[in-house]
Amino acid sequence: MSLILHVFGPAFGLPDPSPFAMKGNMLMKLSGLDYQPHPGDVTKAPKKKFPVLVDSGEFIPDSTFIRLHLEKKHGIDFDKGLSARERGIAYAVEKMLEDNLYWAIMYERWVVDANFDRGPRSFFDAIPQPIRTIAVPLIRRQVKRNLWGHGMGRHSRADICRLGAMALQSLSDVLGDNRYLMGDAPCGADATAFAFAASALCPVFDSELLACAQGHANLVAYNERMMKQFYPELAGAG
């Protein structure tokens, strides 16, 4: 059996700049299966997005389908011990982060010039000049179009931050004093909760969203705990 997870690779003190790729990595870690993360070229991915799991030659794109695949093919129950209600809450939190907070994070990193210069701009350093000068604004424009298509990009920066802040508040409220999202043991949604907590708390990107995430002591502590447990090599790096 060979399991290879195609991702972007560590950046900005994070296991991956993409919260979805970090989620995929965490799902693999939580599964306990032997796997190799492989930084690759996203333009060659089947859906042009990472993460992609390659399981003995079979390609599985999309973090949620990766989870379903691991459950079905490898018999992993990520939510062992959770009631139906708890599983429902965990899934709802996961999708709130992926379909709402994600876009606020994207806006801060890709649309705000100072944050773009501190972060995503470096993704394109390998493109030779003068192509880079032309390509980077085009790629940024596409990200802005995606934000507009989702709807988040139609709001002011202040309103985007307000929406992001509400998602962080909800995450913090569900986590409460728990060690993991739903209690004493990690569940499937911890892969997402940790990925998004770490992404929102990444100090490279200066924003109200960062200040808001830092204002939730339980999220900060959760991020530090999870980093120490699953990525000891990165713990304390931020």
Regarding 16 and contact with ligand GSH (CB under 6 A), the answer is no
Find all residues with CB under 8 Å of 26, minimum gap 6, and list them: 190, 191, 192, 194, 195, 230
Regarding 51 and contact with ligand GSH (CB under 6 A), the answer is yes
Regarding 50 and contact with ligand GSH (CB under 6 A), the answer is yes
- C-beta of residue 14 within 8 angstroms of C-beta of residue 6: no
Regarding 63 and contact with ligand GSH (CB under 6 A), the answer is yes
Regarding 62 and contact with ligand GSH (CB under 6 A), the answer is yes
Q: Which is nearer to ligand GSH, 106 or 212 (CB)?
A: 106
* Pairing outcome for strands 58-61 and 36-39: unpaired
Q: Which is nearer to ligand GSH, 62 or 108 (CB)?
A: 62
Q: List the one residue from 4, 6, 18, 53 that touches ligand GSH (CB under 6 A).
A: 18
Q: Which is nearer to ligand GSH, 118 or 150 (CB)?
A: 150
Least Å from the CB of residue 18 to ligand GSH: 3
Q: Which is nearer to ligand GSH, 64 or 229 (CB)?
A: 64
Q: Which is nearer to ligand GSH, 50 or 194 (CB)?
A: 50
Regarding 44 and contact with ligand GSH (CB under 6 A), the answer is no
Bridge partners, residue 96, by sequence: none
Crossing angle between the packed helical segments 188-200 and 63-74, to the nearest 10 degrees: 150
- Count CB neighbours of 73 within 10 A: 13
Bridge partners, residue 183, by sequence: 180
Size of the site for ligand GSH (CB under 6 A): 11
Given the rule CB under 6 A, which of 56-64, 77-85, 159-167, 202-210 is the region that contacts ligand GSH?
Answer: 56-64
DSSP state of 16: -
Least Å from the CB of residue 192 to ligand GSH: 9
Write the CA distances from 40 to 52, 65, 110, 119, 194, integer angstroms: 10, 19, 21, 19, 23
- Residue 188 structure tokens: 């499937």
Regarding 49 and contact with ligand GSH (CB under 6 A), the answer is yes
Regarding 97 and contact with ligand GSH (CB under 6 A), the answer is no
The vertex-53 CA angle with 52 and 55, nearest 5°, equals: 150
C-alpha 169, offset from chain centre: 17
Q: Which is nearer to ligand GSH, 18 or 223 (CB)?
A: 18
Q: Which is nearer to ligand GSH, 168 or 191 (CB)?
A: 191
C-alpha 136, offset from chain centre: 22
- Residue 96 structure tokens: 């709130």
User: What are the residues binding ligand GSH (CB under 6 A)?
Assistant: 18-20, 42, 48-51, 62-64
